[in-house]
Every structure is written in C-alpha cells, then in structure tokens.
Structure 1
Amino acid sequence: MKEPDPDVELLARIGNNEPAAVKEMVSRKLPRLLALASRLLGDAEEARDVAQESFLRIWKQAANWRAGQARFDTWLHRVALNLCYDRLRRRREQPLDDEALVEAVDPAGTPEEQLHAAAQSERMAAALAALPERQREAIVLQYYQELSNIEAAALMDISVEALESLLSRARRNLRDYLAEPSGDAGLGRGKR
C-alpha cells in the first residue's frame, strides 16, 4: 500500500494563501533543496537562486496540486534538478568551482581535526566535480539527498538498472580519483 503524501495538506494550505504554511514548507524543504543545488552547481549563490525559483513554482502550483499523480517531493526534486540543468547548460560545461562545494567543518573538533576534515571535504568536492554530470547527479540523489534507487531513477527518468550502473561507475571513478595522490585520475573521460 502506498504511503500518503505528507505534503498534500500543507500544499492545500499554501493554495489557500496561508503565510504560516509557506513558512513551514520553506523550513521543511529549503535545506534539502540547497544541498541538492549546491552539490550539482558548486555555487552557493546559484543554489539559493534555484531554491527560490523552486519555491515560486510551489506557490504557483499549490492550488492546482492533484494528490495521487506524483509525490510532491518527487515533483519538487525534478523542478530543482531541471533548474540546475538549465544553469549548467548556460555555463556550457565549465568546470565547477571546487571551493564552493566544500562543506563547513564542525567547529567542535580540534584545529588539526578541522584541517583534516576540510582537506577530505575538498578532495571529495573535487572528485564529485570531476564526475560526468549524470554520475554526479546519481551520487547526489542517492547519498546526499538519501533517495531510494526507485525515487532517484524516476527523477532522472531512467530505469533502476541504469541508475545502478551510473552509481557503480561513479563510485569506481570516485575511488580512483581519491586513490590518486594528486587527486587527478582522469575522472569521467567520456564515461557517462
């Protein structure tokens, strides 16, 4: 049996122009949208723009949302992914800015631990940035957005088997990249 969509009631409230519902939706969805866009785009400012545009689309579509056709979260991820793709196309495949992908280090650690964690985060960000777009998308959706294979495959409009193949190649490429002392294992040359 299908689980009910937890966002349907909130969408109806947004459709009725309840300010508290909009605020609740933003608090529920903004962190994941920012994480998704940041990892795909490698630019915090662009990620905020994508999140803002996604919320505008929620506001415009809320009154017309039809429960049961698709899960709201799936639709929202697809909107954010499409907005990211549009921005990536406009860049004409320019490399991602590695520094923008680095996540904040936990301030509770010692300075030495912080340096080590920052270095690891930078290497992972560089490895992700070096992946072909579809492999990076598959990794981000599954590992960072914590979507199931079925959900990620649906968002990417591919079969679960194709997703698993992308994930396998992406993990292999990441492993090769991270095993190289310089971090440059020729990741993703022509492999999609």
Structure 2
Amino acid sequence: MRHFPPDPAPDAEALLLARYAGGDAAAARLLAVQLAPRLFAHAVRVLGDGHEAEDVTQEALLRLWKIAPDWRAGEAKVSTWCYRVVANLCTDRLRKRRSVPLEDVAEPEDPRPDAAQQLQQRARVDALQAALQSLPDRQRQAVVLRHIEGLANPEIAQILDIGVEAVESLTARGKRGLAAVLAGQKEALGYET
C-alpha cells in the first residue's frame, strides 16, 4: 500500500469553517454555497426525492455549524465529514421508508398476569401464608426451607440442628398439615386438583 504525503495546501473549507466559528457570517455563506449543491446532489441520487434531499442537506449543514467551534482541522476534510453526515441521514430516511407504520404493528402481549390472575395469585399467597401459620414452628420452618427456599435436606438439618431423617419427617408432616388446611379452598383458589 502506498502512502501519500499529507497535502501541504491548507483545506480551504476548514479555513472558512474556522472563520465562521470566529463569528464571520460571510464565511458561513461562502462555505454553504460551496458545499450545499454537492451535498444536495448526493442526497437526491440516494433518496430520489428533491424535498427530502433539501431537508437532508439543511440538516447536514446545521450539524456542521454546531460543531464548527470544536472542529479540529487536519483530522478530516469538511466536505468528507459532510458527505458522511448526508449518507447517514439518507440511510435513516431509507430505513424509515421501509419500516412498517406503527398502526400496523400488533400490540405486544403484556407478559404480566392480568388483574384477575394477580388477585388469584395474591389469594393463593395469603392462603398459603395462613396455612403455614397453622403448622407447628419446626414443621413450618422445615417446609419453608425445603419447598419455598429450595434447600436440600442436609442443609436444612444443619440449619435446624437435627438429623436428615427428622427433616424428612417434619416436611412430610408439614405438607400433610398444609394439604388438610387448604383442601376446602381448592375451588376458591382456582385449583382443580
């Protein structure tokens, strides 16, 4: 790959932009006269629509004026930067043309349960909590640690300072106690079995 020496001639467009940043309105007009026709022509060729090309050209020049005070001469040519902005703006407009209108997009399903489901879930939680409170303390602790917290029997045995067999017995008795308390509420809680 050949490397070419940097262009020793200063970028006339960058000089005009620097003058504009310094408050010279005539420099901005001159720069716009030089850039706008080329940017417009490029936008028309890409978009195929003169009105949209005018909007894109104006937006590109507005962006140029906004960055003028921060422009670092020598990093990029002003015209190259403007062409890049025009290309991006054209791409955005072309994407919008191909996109489906919002009215035609189906409403996404809400993953949250509806109000009736939320009420039923709340009733189930309340019924379970009441049923748990009816159990003796050790059974309640064993059932909660095993079936709600998901701990293994050896872990529960360490927590409650009892043997694994005792944990199994406590959880079995606790489950039977819960079933007996909740048996009459199946239909009200939305359970079939």
Q: TM-score, normalised by structure 2?
A: 0.46
Q: Which has the larger radius of gyration?
A: 2
